[in-house]
Amino acid sequence: MHRFKKFTALLLCGAFSLSLMSCTTTPTATESSDITNVFEATTTVETSESTTVTTVTETSATSESTTETSETTTAATTTESTTTATSETSATETSSSASTSETSATATFSDEVSAIYTKNPEEKKNYIVYNETFGGTITENAMNKGFIGITIPSDGANLYGNIPAEALEFTLFYDERQNLTLRDLQGRFLSATSAGDLILTDKPVEDNYQFWRLEKTDGGWHIINVGAAGNQALQYSSGTFSIKKCTNAKEFVFNFYEVG
């Protein structure tokens, strides 16, 4: 009987020990909740780190893309600038070439001198009587009370190109009074008339209408008729040579170009 009680006591003790062990190993509700919170916190931290890394990566990519775009824009601008500069240079070279061509043409044309400016015309030499302002010389083609003019190129020192066949060349002759006559290559006299006409005559006319005197003026000479009253002088106006009362107007100013 005594042994049975001891065995029963041992069984009870063992059961109590097992109960204590079970209590020790089973986590309480609070502990379980703490563990879950720790796990969630850990997960949150990892997710936050992952998000941060992703953001940094995207920012870097955006920065690189912006840099590449800037470089591309700069390259395009440089290309445009280079193209513009090249175009301007080509235009300048073309303009320079055109100027050279024009200069060359002028140089070639300048070789065709037909008459040379003479400051003081001399007797027994052949001259073109030339109006500098309008670039014209007298012809034998009559019109109204005078003669039609014709243009010959000039630079103030020379006349250029072939002298037109209808243009008149005059040989100068002076008399003892230093009045002169203007005779064309056929021996005709350039003369005035009492009616105020300008004519070509085969022989001298009365009252000194075939004589002229030269008066120096700004830019050339006035060619004044000796016989005509009222200071009548050779005039070139509206493409026609005639005689009119002399003034300081440019149509009354002439120069002499010697024909070689």
Q: Based on the domain organization, do 67 and 121 belong to the same domain?
A: no
Average pLDDT of 171-187?
A: 95
Task: Kindly state the tokens that stand for 87.
Answer: 């175009």
| Domain termination residue (choose one: 58, 86, 107) | 107
81 and 52 assigned to the same domain: yes
Q: What is the pLDDT of residue 111?
A: 64
Same domain, 248 and 136: yes
Report whether pLDDT(43) > 70: no
Q: Give domain status of residue 144, yes or no.
A: yes
Same domain, 239 and 130: yes
Q: Is the pLDDT of residue 181 over 70?
A: yes
**Same domain assignment for residues 52 and 160:** no
Report yes or no on 219 lying in a domain.
yes
* DSSP per-residue string spanning 155-199: -SSEEESPPPTTBPPEEEEE-TTS-EEEE-TT-PEEEE-TTS-EE
Q: Quote the tokens at residue 30.
A: 């609070």
Contact 171, 126 (CB under 8 A): yes
For the chain, give the percent of residues with pLDDT over 90.
54
- Residue 2, in any domain of the structure: no
Quick one: 252 and 160 in the same domain? yes
Q: What is the pLDDT of residues 196-213, one digit of tens each?
A: 999 999 988 888 999 999
What is the H or E stretch that residue 57 is in? helix 29-110
Summarize the confidence of residues 36-45 as an average pLDDT: 36
Please provide residue 28's backbone torsions phi and psi, each rounded to the nearest 5 degrees: -75, 170
Q: Range with the lowest mean pLDDT among 86-100, 203-217, 230-244?
A: 86-100
Which neighbouring-strand residues pair with 181? 173
Which residues span the domain enclosing 246?
113-259
- The string of pLDDT tens digits covering residues 102-114 is 333 333 344 689 9
- Quickly tell me which residue has 């920012």 as its tokens: 59
Regarding predicted confidence, which is higher, 15 or 118? 118
At residue 177, does pLDDT exceed 80?
yes
Tell me the three state secondary structure of residue 235: strand
Q: Which of 71, 91, 107 is the last residue of a domain?
A: 107
Q: Is 98 a domain residue?
A: yes
- Same domain? 18 vs 141: no
Residues 6+ apart with CB under 8 A from 200: 140, 147, 184, 188, 189, 190, 191
| Same domain, yes or no: 42 and 137 | no
Count of domains for the chain: 2
Q: Is 60 domain-assigned?
A: yes
pLDDT at 171: 98
Residue 226 and residue 142 in one domain: yes
Cα–Cα distance list, 188 to 124, 179, 184, 204 (Å):
15, 17, 5, 9
* pLDDT for res 20: 39
Domain C-terminal end among 54, 76, 107: 107
Of the candidate ranges 18-27, 41-50, 83-92, 137-146, the one whose mean pLDDT is the lowest: 41-50
Q: Whole-number mean pLDDT of the chain?
A: 72
Q: What is the mean pLDDT of residues 221-236?
A: 97
